[in-house]
Amino acid sequence: MDLKNNILSLLEPKLKDTGIFVVSLYIQPGRVTHICLSLEKDSGINIDECAGISRYLLNELSANPEYDFPYTLEVSSPGIDKPFVHPRQYNRNINKHLRVITNDGSSREGILENVYENGIVLKEKLETKGKKKDQITFSKNIAFSEIKEAKCKI
């Protein structure tokens, strides 16, 4: 089993029933292996939770002679400016302004109105042309499979 799968296996019992989930796990091999773990929670993860997971993982890795090599471990929440990676990240951003890039390269902006099993509902504004600039709002369903990148617009 490789390092990434081992770390995910170590985390599984620790994260169970906490509401915390893995957003991403990047491992950059080198003279010193860099392990970057990004965690989230539907209600928002705090620094104490990240620190607790970091301590747990350090203890588990140091107890196993297979991981007797130089490494750094970074455990954090994804930044607000980072694209969403996990569908659960959308839930905590309902009623926030999103920028979505679809697989065909088009860009959409609007308020995240709802999240459903296979996608999202984005409330967009469309300005009409003419002397009087009116705005029409409409809701657009976008399947997760159509989304190349989505993130909060700050």
Number of domains the chain is built from: 2
Q: Final residue of a domain: which of 76, 103, 119?
A: 76
With respect to residue 81, please indicate whether it lies within any of the assigned structural domains: no
Strands of 83-134, DSSP E: 97-102, 107-116, 119-127
* Domain CATH number, residue 60: 3.30.300
Note whether 9 and 48 are same-domain residues: yes
Domain extent at residue 37: 3-76
Query: Tokens at residue 87, please?
Result: 């569908």
Q: Mention every residue, 6+ apart, whose C-beta is less than 8 A from residue 128.
A: 134, 135, 136
In angstroms, rounded to a whole number, what is the distance separating the alpha carbons of residues 72 and 134? Answer: 54
pLDDT tens per residue across span 2-55: 899 999 999 999 999 999 999 999 999 999 999 999 999 988 899 999 999 999
* Domain CATH number, residue 123: 2.30.30
- pLDDT score at 130: 64
With respect to residue 41, please indicate whether it lies within any of the assigned structural domains: yes
Note whether 37 and 11 are same-domain residues: yes
How would you classify the pairing of strands 20-28 and 71-76? unpaired
With respect to residue 82, please indicate whether it lies within any of the assigned structural domains: no
Note whether 24 and 59 are same-domain residues: yes
Residue with tokens 């893995």: 22
Q: From edge to edge, which strands make up the β-sheet containing 20-28?
A: 20-28, 33-41, 71-76
In angstroms, rounded to a whole number, what is the distance separating the alpha carbons of residues 118 and 48? Answer: 32
Q: Please give the distance of CA 28 from its chain centroid, rounded to a whole number.
A: 19
Note whether 103 and 38 are same-domain residues: no
pLDDT tens per residue across span 20-32: 999 999 999 999 9
In angstroms, rounded to a whole number, what is the distance separating the alpha carbons of residues 4 and 10? Answer: 10
Note whether 69 and 108 are same-domain residues: no
In angstroms, rounded to a whole number, what is the distance separating the alpha carbons of residues 82 and 40? Answer: 13
pLDDT tens per residue across span 95-154: 999 999 999 999 999 999 999 999 999 999 887 776 666 778 889 999 999 999 999 988
